[in-house]
Amino acid sequence: MSAQADEPWRLLVEPGYEPHDAEWPIPGAERTVLVPARMVNGELKPLKRNEIKELGVTRKEIMAQAIPAASAVLKDLKPSYIRDANGVIAYAMIQSESPLTASAVLAPEFSTMFDKKLGPDVLVAIPSRHVIYIFPKLSQVSRDMAEEIILEYEASPYPVSRELFSFVNGRFVAVGRYR
Q: Where are the domains of the chain?
A: 2-75, 80-177
Which range (21-30, 50-59, 75-84) has the least confidence?
Answer: 50-59
Q: What percent of the chain has pLDDT over 70?
A: 97
DSSP per residue over the chain, as a string? Answer: -GGGTTSPPEEEEEETTS--SS-EEPTT-SSEEEEEEEEETTEEEEPPHHHHHHHT--HHHHHHHHHHHHHHHHHT---EEEE-TTS-EEEEEEE-S-TTGGGGGGSGGGGTTTHHHH-S-EEEEEEETTEEEEEETTSSHHHHTHHHHHHHHHH-SSB--SEEEEEETTEEEEEEE--
- Give the pLDDT of residue 3: 42
Torsion of CA 168, 172, 174, 175, to 10 degrees: 30
| pLDDT for 62 beyond 60 | yes
Position 64: which residue type? A
**What count of Cα atoms within 13 Å lies in the side-chain half-sphere of residue 74?**
20
Q: What is the mean pLDDT of residues 32-37?
A: 97
| Strand duo 163-168 + 131-136: pairing | unpaired
Q: What percent of the chain has pLDDT over 90?
A: 87
Which range (48-57, 77-86, 122-131) has the least confidence?
Answer: 48-57
Q: Model confidence over 128-140: pLDDT tens digits? A: 999 999 999 999 9
Mean of per-residue pLDDT scores for the chain: 94
